[in-house]
Amino acid sequence: MTGKAKPKKHTAKEIASKIDAATTNRGGGKAGLLDRSGVEKGGHAKLECPHCKITAPDLKSMQIHHDARHPKIPFEEAKLVNLHATTSVPESSKPRPGVRGSLKK
Ligand SMILES: [Zn+2]
């Protein structure tokens, strides 16, 4: 015997970090879907649905949205509105919360 081994019970800090990992919203799953699709934040979305004007950060998200919302309409990448490509016409685009400060005046 070389003396007592260190106790291996969980520390409060360890448990707290596990609870944190399990309960904190890290942008995944259904809870984070709105965040990632840019519906609420509107600032970093790239594509806009031509049918309902919802925005998505990438083509894959938009395709998922399209399949869910417009299953009767064929998905056409060319019809999507690329918001990053049309940022040079601020007059015609609707106000976007979260990017107000980035516009040069
Ligand atoms: Zn849509």
* Cα–ligand 1 centroid distance for 34 (angstroms): 14
* Cα–ligand 1 centroid distance for 99 (angstroms): 22
pLDDT at 42: 45
Residue 46 lies in a domain: yes
* Cα–ligand 1 centroid distance for 28 (angstroms): 21
Task: Give which of 91, 103, 100, 39 is closest to 69, Cα–Cα.
Answer: 39
pTM: 0.41
Residues in the 5 Å CB sphere of ion ligand 1: 49, 51-52, 54, 69
pLDDT tens, residue by residue, 42-66? 456 889 999 999 999 899 999 999 9
84, 93 Cβ separation under 8 angstroms: no
pLDDT tens, residue by residue, 34-44? 555 544 444 56
- Number of residues in the chain: 105
Residue 41 lies in a domain: yes
Residue 16 lies in a domain: no
Residue 77 lies in a domain: yes
Determine the average pLDDT of the residues in 1-27.
77
Task: Compute the distance between CA of residue 5 and CA of residue 7 in angstroms, rounded to an integer.
Answer: 6
Look up the domain containing 54 and give its range: 32-89
At 56, list the tokens: 């998505």
Residue 58 lies in a domain: yes
Q: Which single residue is written with the structure tokens 């934040």?
A: 41
Grouping H, G, I as helix, E, B as strand and the rest as coil, residue 16 is helix
- When divided into structural domains, the chain yields a total of 1
* Residue with the larger pLDDT of the pair 97 and 42: 97
